[in-house]
Amino acid sequence: MDNQKPSKMAVEARDCMERAVHDELVKKAKLGQDVIVNREGKPYKISAVEALRIQEEDPEYKA
């Protein structure tokens, strides 16, 4: 496997995507909505409040 560092553009794109997901979770949590996440390859519905809590506790968490 090739262990190259990601390009600056790739890092910026990832950071932008992470901020967008976080902002969307905040918006959905305020509206009391649910989100669908992937858990062990299967769709799973949780509240946006719970998803936001999980993300803020451990940003590397993959639900």
pLDDT tens readout for residues 12-32: 999 999 899 999 999 999 999
The residues, ordered by sequence, that sit 6+ positions from 54 with a Cβ below 8 Å of its Cβ are 61, 63
Kind and range of the H or E run holding 19: helix 8-31
Q: What is the distance between the alpha carbons of residues 56 and 42, in angstroms, rounded to a whole number? A: 22
pLDDT of residue 56: 85
pLDDT at 62 over 60: no
- Per-residue pLDDT reduced to its tens digit, 31-57: 999 999 998 999 999 999 999 999 888
pLDDT at 61 over 70: no
pTM: 0.76
pLDDT of residue 59: 60
What is residue 13's three-state secondary structure?
helix
